[in-house]
Structure 1
């Protein structure tokens, strides 16, 4: 929603209200506008700290070992031991991971990182994706210079006394310095050195973030040699109900064991199962875990934030009222008169029953989640235009909530933390364990005994209804019209390799859809005032052949151990080595770790909710759709569709072994790989279709694109290290501690006990690089089709220079005609252009050459000059020259003189006649154009002064302009103008003295134009309805296409499509409205259905479609599936499968859906229900067989397949349930 736009010189700052519609995570905090809403004018740099603060004394910037070369994890020359560098990283002594900085300018945004030089003693900042902005860091503040020379200053002053900075600290109420996490833009200076925008800020209330999460600390037995050992079925543990580590060290408690920490529970639980020989299984024994009670494993963070208060610019200012809750935006002119006001009206959604408890997690200033209910725009505080907003089920988000899906969005387990529900958000895990009966007898054990942790396998599932909480539903416009937004859950596909499900069949790839975190738009419905049916409807289909699924570039782990294939916990893994010194006193030579003896080894795992990891692709996107189809319906009639296709980020991976491209985090840790999203959003093609009377879509336009990588050296170096082995010394005398236990000058005491594949290395460590790169469009091909399907093709190739800027283009038309264009920039020339390059003015095109058919036709040159008397920064256009073919250049326009703000005050055209301009209102608007008059001849009092800069009124300025006209006679022509500040032109005095008047209402809208005599020439009226109550929103059906079958006069059958128009039926949800529309059609009373019967004279072949499931594996298992048959970009047929239960023995014959289709080749697309929990025994297998002998012709390895259906043959497509002996998760890995 546009609120206001500031224009000063060549700079424009739009103030727009923007909404994020992807759903909200459980800990989401509302902005001061309202949940999901942001102001576009909030220009800033924010930071995501990786490891240690980059600017700390031991941070990335000051780590001189971090250079442009690979980090020396192993260095034989280290003063202590070769792996000292690795130890420092794992111990948290030094930083080797660069922080990620996010920047936002007026016209671009992105990321940047610190880039170290070859010595490690110097650094620079580099943007990724790479662009030519210049980033400087001075006195804890940033300066970014854009490619046009515009400078942005972020933060001011030093850390302690500066402004424009936000801090995050662990000190109560935000005391202390903490980490600098945000730099706000404090001023913008144009390329001439003029400061055009100033930003001031005020403090907002301290924000507290105390987030508790569930986790499990899990121990398995790896090896016992000589260890005291206590079992839960023996004294004294068998009679205890609490464990406090007194008398029985935790390390001596039998394995497996685990400690369960729940956010909703004060006292953790220790689980020590014992082996029951009678049942050959584990029996759980639970204790209150009182070690270090009360347990406080979570630290609150406090944000000392600031918020925008004023934007000051030449000619006025914009004032923002309300630091925590924006109540008003006011625009005032240079005379401090109010020009426009925007009033915001919000409400808070509080917790269900305990705001006092909620404040413990969100801070004392927390009053609930803020929702924007309406806003009114007007002048002098009189509302003129009102927008209203309605939401799905307002919900109180915050840190007081627990329970969520793997992406941290709300699901059915989401609840307030004081709720009595003790369900863990860590999914239960089943693992085969070894149980020792005696810690001193290594052979007395049983192996591969399954142990299942507490919790639910489905704790992390995504629920569409829950994710819609608090999301925008309706916007009501000032005209009374409104738009409804309908959202559905994101979907991804799970890919499993199924082995040995039948002795007669090969392995196959099982693919099925699942809901995943976040929302996507399903339909947008546009209504006229007081309408109940939408006049225009847009609805969207996702995935290849509209199968509904997108790619998870980084996916949560799926548990394949329990046959349920649920989302698993995020897991870290280490070994705990219990050792002792072999020396009994200090006189012996226990001076290094080779004198340690192993008592036992445990494998320690930390299990966290999957949401502990970030699965986004660098910029908040984690579900990537390579195909999105937008359908349009106008007044109930289909008008066409557009298919947007995108390259997958994986299409640009070349180094297949560079794991950071493929994984979200370092294996066995929760250390994230740093991601950039550089390959995100590359358009692959755009296809536009019109809808034909035959019910088909005809291609009218198609464009396709190719890209190449631009990479700048050197790359950003990253390293990581975590302890793989934790040494716990439990006896003997030795003088080595800490880092000495990792001195790899001596062999590890556990290296022989922990070998391949578990690795006995002391560390999990490695390095990788972040390329400084971007994607550049290499070519574009456009095809336009007329009604006869004749095609016109235009192909354009793009070439780039070393600055990654466009160097040349070649366009080839259908008939072979070529046009070549060559571009040059400031860095291609010397002289004044060196000064431009030094100011980073490199995006301006200095020269353009055009060749047609190989012959030069035109050269345009834009010349620049420096006006030193203004300043050394004052570089402005001097002239525009054009040369046709190989002729000399001719000056088209020369820019002779400028004022102090860079406004042209005299130019001369190719007719050699000078034109001068006078600028008023603080040089914002031209008040006079003087043709045939040189600027130097104009008296100074007409160039500046109070009557010019700040006119008392329009009449006084017109009198000045009329006096000016009287000063010059002859062939000169003078046109004058007056204005209303920040609104528009109020009068125009033409060359013969005739005045035209322009009048505005209080809101700044043009209402009339009058002539010199005051007679009305034009009037303008605006239809805005007064504010009225907003009705509860409804949901309407979207168009549905499906196939029906009818019998032809000959007795044969044919299937054809029916389209039910959208918007005719309403209900509480779109899904219910769709069901109602279909039920009414099936009952013969539907409205507006359009049928597209085929030709009964054509031969049709029969296809049976059947879905099967087996309730023996899960009694409440349910499924559904729609099957689409695509041809030439259209759905030729679509039908819902009939599903039958294999364990339903009461009915030996299963019905099937039937289709009668024309022979040919089709893309068959399966759409199973994404909310089904598939498990072994009900894993879907899609296949096609010839009837009647069930001869298999194809087993699908995805949800889509290309099938040719031949004449005189009948077919059957099945979705069958499978039980596989071996199931392997397919990951996109080498």
Structure 2
């Protein structure tokens, strides 16, 4: 006989009651159920949990942790950064740095490219968190209504909602089953800019309306970001996350959850930096999710008053723990090379996990300029920390870490940080469930509470610098107050001790506001709830009643709908930093007050819309996101100096910000909460919905678009005889660029104003070339007197080639009028000025070399045509190494000309300067490319540099 199973999935905490459907009697409802239910068996299989949020790789999340969540003192975090090298390519400056996060050890943290906790920053990246389904494949529906406008008993509404959850592929009224009502969140970092955006109708929408950058996308796989200088960053090398779920779901397709930077191009397209990568794949599993399923046969029949058919239940409580249900596979990019007009940077990787072991900088002729070696320390199986960083075999950084014990993905607290317990195979803490007859304890011995010792596992403890100085970090657990003071997930810095090479010690200690308690936007007490309640009603053949039982599934993780706020960590409103200079016997105190960017985010409980057995489980979600464009900005800063036993206030800085919501995007969160099976297939859900069962749970949510800008800063300095106050007000244009600031000192006011060329030049605007000024004016006013212009510059730009905008004239204010300051007559194809007339009305010729990267000569008293004829300027400048004999000949042939020349060691520095009289000053470098001596034209040492590094 065919088995027909009817299972109603509800997230309920109490015993389900049946109620009336408006307009129908109980008899009519029973008749409808009779048509749906002919059940002679039921299944005890636990449905696999499928997360509706797909995250980037752990190392990408670590890279963006400080970007997405505004990490600073307000989180108890101290930023650590080590500069490695800066690429200079025309107007493009691209720093390469190492950064470290002190937030604590999560069980999902991996070694990454440069060791546990460290991130290598090579110019930028774009990450994506998938909410619901990938937006480049699943379109946002047009005409989406608000949640309260949908009625599950209306078949048209049901068909539409069924399409959204990809539940019924045979919905007759919707040919497009690839719809999604949640926005994926993209985060970016380029140069000095970072932020978030979403795709709407496959077009990027910036969430920070005050950002001057422009974003273009080709779905999730290609993103180009152009900054205010017209410099374009191209990201088109994707990274992928694949999640595999056991059970009927199977393997999901690869999700693009990040794209790596592949090219940086100047506005005129003449200068470019290119990036290549290797691919590394690893998995994070077995799963970090555990689910405890409990079946209870304690519900009595509500239709006929009979008892359940207890023969169909094997035991009163049937416990099933389902670990290892989810694996995540990450395919990430590891930087291999960076090439630019001046040279190449190569990154050597080991063969096992693609850790970077060496970074080598060479010029275009293959000369080695800089070598950085990375050595690692094994902390535990598969986990390595950066042990040493050695530059040119001389400058050496040593890193020391807290000891680490083996990590299991089950040994974690509520926030995912390593927990001292949890080595027993499951992440479900002990749960006591009771009814009127029985009490039973389920779960494991995990308490899921934070533990300082294991949260510190493998965390940076000390840095020893090349000079011999050092910095040591001390941590403590975060705290919060929710029905009592409790330890929270992650670490905060409690003290930093630093000493220079001579042993002079400075101690900084930190105290946190509200008795050391910060705030989270979501707490485990509220968010970690039963993940799924299953109510099963079944018909017993040959009988006149329905049986009932409840099956509850527990997991103690933050649900996906609040995961963004859960990962934001803690926020402290005020932090006090005590400074003790031990060597000098000096004491100081600084108090920082910060805005909380997450306080404007709103959470809500999913509403209940069922007529029969409405669901009320308290499950929460983020109903409005505001923090994508808000940061933990410094609000007030107090600086004290110790005088005797007291601290006296020396300086107060108070900042004010404009926080304005410009618009908001509307979306719909939806998931399945009841399933009806017919021969193990879907098909009767629509009838169940019509009967009043809550087949879907859904709710409105919003993502706001806004701007946050500093609008005033007041600095007050206190003295025994009074105080001095300075106030600065800031004003911005439509692109978020500063257009005016007003500084006030008592009765005196200085006003600075800027206008920008793009405001009147459409092509510059189309190139996002926003930064060039058109006018800059400084006015001074004392009291009621009229203001006077004390400084002014006016700029005129023109096109010198395709997309090549550069100044043609600059005027300055002098003697009450605008006076020509510089007139530009000619540029080369790289945007280098070749011929100008200066403020003294004297022509100056600039000669470039080393493939037009360096200025090699400055010539006066000769016409440009003469210099061009003597040197063949374009050919001379394009050579990898200039022919300086031509400069010498020019100097000899035209003795009255002013010729000053320069030689270089590319990527290192200037090697000589020859003045107008032919006298040469020489700059010498050691084997590590450090300046060691400056000598005059006779070879006498004018200045010598000695470097002291420990060996």
- 1:976 and 2:901 matched: yes
Q: How far did residue 968 of structure 1 move? A: 3.1
- Of residues 72, 76, 86, the one that matches 2:161 is 86
SS in 1 for 2:735: coil
SS in 2 for 1:964: helix
- 1:225 and 2:302 matched: yes
- 1:103 and 2:28 matched: no
**Residue in 2 that maps onto 1:53:** 134
Paired residues of 2:207 and 2:628 also in contact (CA < 8 A): no
**Residue in 2 that maps onto 1:476:** 464
**Residue in 1 that maps onto 2:512:** 542
Change (3 A) 1:719 1:306: same
Give CA deviations for 1:1115-1139 in whole Å, capped at 9, x if unaligned.
xxxxxxxxxxxxxxxxxxxxxxxxx
**Number of aligned residue pairs:** 836
Q: How far did residue 1017 of structure 1 move? A: 1.2
For residues 457-472 of structure 1, the aligned pairs below 5 Å read: 459-472=447-460
The CA distance in 1 between the partners of 2:141 and 2:712, in whole Å, is 43
Q: How far did residue 716 of structure 1 move? A: 2.1
**Residue in 1 that maps onto 2:652:** 702
When structure 1 is superposed on structure 2, of 125-134 and 6-15 the one drifting more is 125-134
Q: How far did residue 950 of structure 1 move? A: 4.4
- 1:169 and 2:242 matched: yes
The CA distance in 1 between the partners of 2:533 and 2:632, in whole Å, is 38
Q: How far did residue 430 of structure 1 move? A: 4.3
The CA distance in 2 between the partners of 1:819 and 1:492, in whole Å, is 46
- 1:426 and 2:502 matched: no
- 1:740 and 2:821 matched: no
**Residue in 1 that maps onto 2:203:** 123
Change (3 A) 1:937 1:412: same
When structure 1 is superposed on structure 2, of 801-810 and 27-36 the one drifting more is 801-810
Change (3 A) 1:138 1:935: farther
- Of residues 807, 828, 846, the one that matches 1:877 is 807
- Of residues 201, 210, 214, the one that matches 2:286 is 210
Q: How far did residue 623 of structure 1 move? A: 0.6
Change (3 A) 1:863 1:582: farther
Q: How far did residue 783 of structure 1 move? A: 0.3
The CA distance in 2 between the partners of 1:884 and 1:1014, in whole Å, is 44
Change (3 A) 1:671 1:652: closer
**Residue in 2 that maps onto 1:491:** 479
Q: How far did residue 889 of structure 1 move? A: 3.4
**Residue in 2 that maps onto 1:514:** 486
Larger relative contact order, structure 1 or 2 (CA cutoff 8 Å, min sep 6): 2
Q: How far did residue 625 of structure 1 move? A: 1.3
- Of residues 138, 146, 167, the one that matches 2:218 is 138
The CA distance in 2 between the partners of 1:375 and 1:216, in whole Å, is 46
- 1:197 and 2:273 matched: yes
- 1:572 and 2:572 matched: no
**Residue in 1 that maps onto 2:340:** 313
SS in 1 for 2:659: strand
Q: How far did residue 894 of structure 1 move? A: 2.5
Q: How far did residue 185 of structure 1 move? A: 0.9
Paired residues of 1:572 and 1:670 also in contact (CA < 8 A): no
**Residue in 1 that maps onto 2:51:** none
The CA distance in 2 between the partners of 1:530 and 1:479, in whole Å, is 10
Change (3 A) 1:70 1:862: farther
**Residue in 2 that maps onto 1:817:** 748
Give CA deviations for 1:640-678 in whole Å, capped at 9, x if unaligned.
12111112236657xx78789xxxxx9755766685443
Q: How far did residue 900 of structure 1 move? A: 1.3
- 1:645 and 2:675 matched: no
Q: How far did residue 32 of structure 1 move? A: 2.3
Change (3 A) 1:1005 1:674: farther
Give CA deviations for 1:848-898 in whole Å, capped at 9, x if unaligned.
333333525157455343435x31x1111222223479x653322223321
SS in 2 for 1:372: strand
- 1:182 and 2:255 matched: no
The CA distance in 2 between the partners of 1:77 and 1:603, in whole Å, is 23
Give CA deviations for 1:903-947 in whole Å, capped at 9, x if unaligned.
122222222212221111111211111234443431256354776
Q: How far did residue 26 of structure 1 move? A: 0.9
**Residue in 2 that maps onto 1:627:** 574
Q: How far did residue 700 of structure 1 move? A: 0.8
Change (3 A) 1:995 1:736: closer
Larger CA Rg, structure 1 vs 2 = 1
- 1:847 and 2:770 matched: no
Give CA deviations for 1:664-723 in whole Å, capped at 9, x if unaligned.
xx975576668544333121111111111x12111111011111223333x222211123
For residues 372-411 of structure 1, the aligned pairs below 5 Å read: 372-378=386-392, 383-397=393-407, 400-411=408-419
SS in 1 for 2:671: strand
The CA distance in 1 between the partners of 2:318 and 2:631, in whole Å, is 41
The CA distance in 2 between the partners of 1:897 and 1:945, in whole Å, is 13
Paired residues of 1:577 and 1:598 also in contact (CA < 8 A): no
Paired residues of 1:573 and 1:669 also in contact (CA < 8 A): no
SS in 1 for 2:128: strand
The CA distance in 2 between the partners of 1:793 and 1:908, in whole Å, is 43
- Of residues 666, 682, 685, the one that matches 2:633 is 682
Q: How far did residue 320 of structure 1 move? A: 0.4
Structure 1: gaps (5+ residues): 117-121, 156-163, 237-247, 264-296, 352-367, 416-420, 436-448, 497-511, 559-567, 585-596, 661-665, 751-760, 1027-1230
SS in 1 for 2:131: coil
Paired residues of 2:417 and 2:490 also in contact (CA < 8 A): yes
Q: How far did residue 766 of structure 1 move? A: 1.2
Paired residues of 2:104 and 2:491 also in contact (CA < 8 A): yes
- 1:344 and 2:344 matched: no
The CA distance in 2 between the partners of 1:530 and 1:992, in whole Å, is 46
Q: How far did residue 613 of structure 1 move? A: 5.2
Q: TM-score, normalised by structure 2?
A: 0.81
Paired residues of 1:574 and 1:725 also in contact (CA < 8 A): no
The CA distance in 2 between the partners of 1:940 and 1:426, in whole Å, is 82
Paired residues of 1:428 and 1:452 also in contact (CA < 8 A): yes
SS in 1 for 2:394: strand
**Residue in 2 that maps onto 1:1099:** none
The CA distance in 1 between the partners of 2:617 and 2:535, in whole Å, is 18
Give CA deviations for 1:790-829 in whole Å, capped at 9, x if unaligned.
111112222333333334333322x232233333224532
Paired residues of 1:778 and 1:799 also in contact (CA < 8 A): yes
Paired residues of 1:571 and 1:668 also in contact (CA < 8 A): no
- 1:413 and 2:421 matched: yes
Q: How far did residue 541 of structure 1 move? A: 1.5
**Residue in 2 that maps onto 1:959:** 885
Q: How far did residue 326 of structure 1 move? A: 1.1
Structure 2: gaps (5+ residues): 1-81, 168-176, 607-615
**Residue in 2 that maps onto 1:5:** 86
Paired residues of 1:32 and 1:370 also in contact (CA < 8 A): no
Give CA deviations for 1:375-419 in whole Å, capped at 9, x if unaligned.
2111xxxx111111111003444xx4312111111122143xxxx
The CA distance in 2 between the partners of 1:467 and 1:405, in whole Å, is 9
**Residue in 2 that maps onto 1:591:** none
**Residue in 1 that maps onto 2:62:** none
**Residue in 2 that maps onto 1:1212:** none
SS in 1 for 2:156: coil
**Residue in 1 that maps onto 2:671:** 722
**Residue in 2 that maps onto 1:22:** 103
The CA distance in 2 between the partners of 1:959 and 1:740, in whole Å, is 88
**Residue in 2 that maps onto 1:1172:** none
SS in 2 for 1:961: helix
- Of residues 319, 324, 339, the one that matches 1:259 is 319
CA RMSD of aligned residues (A): 3.6
**Residue in 1 that maps onto 2:613:** none
The CA distance in 2 between the partners of 1:123 and 1:529, in whole Å, is 54
Q: How far did residue 539 of structure 1 move? A: 1.8
The CA distance in 1 between the partners of 2:617 and 2:810, in whole Å, is 60
The CA distance in 1 between the partners of 2:791 and 2:299, in whole Å, is 77
SS in 1 for 2:453: helix
Give CA deviations for 1:1147-1186 in whole Å, capped at 9, x if unaligned.
xxxxxxxxxxxxxxxxxxxxxxxxxxxxxxxxxxxxxxxx
SS in 2 for 1:939: helix
Change (3 A) 1:207 1:338: farther
